[in-house]
Amino acid sequence: MYNVAISIYSFLVRLVSPFHKKAKLMIEGHNETFQILREQIDPKSKYVWFHVASLGEYEQAQPMMEIIKKENPSYKILLSFFSPSGYEVQKNNDTADVVCYLPFDTKKNAQLFLDLVNPAIAIFVKYEFWYHFIHQLYLREIPVYLISAVFRPNQLFFKPWGDVYTKILRYYTQIFVQNEESKNLIQGQGLNNVTVMGDTRIDRVIKIKEKALPLPVVKKFAKPKNSETTLVAGSSWPEDENILISYFNTHAYLRLIIAPHLIDETHLKQIESKLKRPFVRYSQATEDNILNYDCLIVDNFGLLSSIYQYGEIAYIGGGFGAGIHNLPEAAVHGIPVIFGPHYHKFLEAQELLKNGGGYSINNEVDFNKILKKLVTSPQDRKTAGQKASEYIYANAGATQKIVSQLAL
């Protein structure tokens, strides 16, 4: 069944690739993977192989990559991606020695990949359960780890018919999970190769905060008058923007920074068409003209993590779709975070709701109520921001703890 599913998926990706940009990039990338490995892998070196799905999981891998390079300089790093949105941004990554796509999970691909790389250890991040790759690592007695993992009762591993999926978990040398519930679920399957270690992304966002870029234009925009409050909408989608912009258009005390998840001309114009107050794109903003506008649209990548330092409230997009984007990236700056209803797969969202640093909305009415409260009550806003920051710093340190357990 698994092999059939992989075959169907790979066929469909190839079928749509001439008409779909991401599918096209993936197929082109897969075609280059083995050539990259043949040309760039040094057979005399020892490699730590990190595999991540996309950018979110990369953020969890990066702090470990940095520590391993620092503490074990004799090792080199191979970083593989499944998603084009991750690979295309990080293909020139400074920490990794080799970066490539992970080919589709067939036995043949897994064998050839490992023949070329022969890693000393392999580290998969969060939700990466590729049967043939993990099984081949197990057969070759190469230690393989899963880090920052979260498990839920409704996953296939825990269904009555889920034995074939549970088998994958047995092949990991060790599974490092974020919480006790995940540990209990794994142990309920008769497995003891599981340890609670937390989320390595927490360490990543702390480091990013410490290196936040000064952005004079954003700083000037964010607090021109004491009576106004700045909301940063990070990684927003149209469903998020409809709610945000509706409120912004009718509340003069709100200043809005929108950093959309997808930055292309069509989406930017779509955002602009909804705005009824003065706006400017970041690429056209200057310190001289920025105070003429009430909304700043960020039309380039790489600035969002630094922009949060100037916000007073954050809205994190994706919660009306597949899932919320990077909550810790905003929370680390000590500001309350708001997000949509699809948060149940994200432990950080659940914990921020519990401790009062985060708020979930189901619709525009919820958003209006929460935002009004945070804007009109500076003390509530300050308290929520402190709770968000407390959550981040209370959960730091997973990276070093995990590295100390690796077979290096």
Residue-by-residue pLDDT tens, the chain, 408 positions: 777 878 787 878 787 778 888 888 888 888 999 999 999 999 999 999 999 998 889 999 999 999 999 999 999 999 999 999 889 989 999 999 999 999 999 999 999 999 999 999 999 999 889 999 999 999 999 999 999 999 999 888 888 877 778 889 999 999 999 999 999 999 999 999 999 999 999 999 999 999 999 999 999 999 866 779 999 999 999 999 999 999 999 999 999 999 999 899 999 999 999 999 999 999 999 999 999 999 999 999 889 999 999 999 999 999 999 889 999 999 999 999 999 999 998 999 999 999 999 999 999 999 999 999 999 999 999 999 999 999 999 999 999 999 999 988
What single letter denotes the amino acid at residue 363? N
Question: How is the beta sheet containing 313-316 ordered, strand by strand?
Answer: 279-281, 295-297, 254-260, 229-236, 313-316, 337-339, 358-360
Mind listing the domains of the chain with CATH numbers? 2-208+396-403 (3.40.50.11720), 213-394 (3.40.50.2000)
Handedness of CA 294, 297, 298, 299 (dihedral sign): negative
Consecutive H or E run containing 265: helix 265-274
The pTM of the full predicted model, rounded to 2 decimals, is 0.88
Those residues whose C-beta lies under 8 Å from the C-beta of residue 392, and which sit 6 or more positions away, are 202, 205, 206, 328, 331, 332
- CA distances 257 to 24, 43, 125, 271, 307, Å, are 32, 49, 31, 12, 9
The tokens describing 301, both together, are 């990548």
Residue located via tokens 């509706």: 246
| Nearest alpha-carbon partner for 84 in 39, 33, 137, 48 | 33
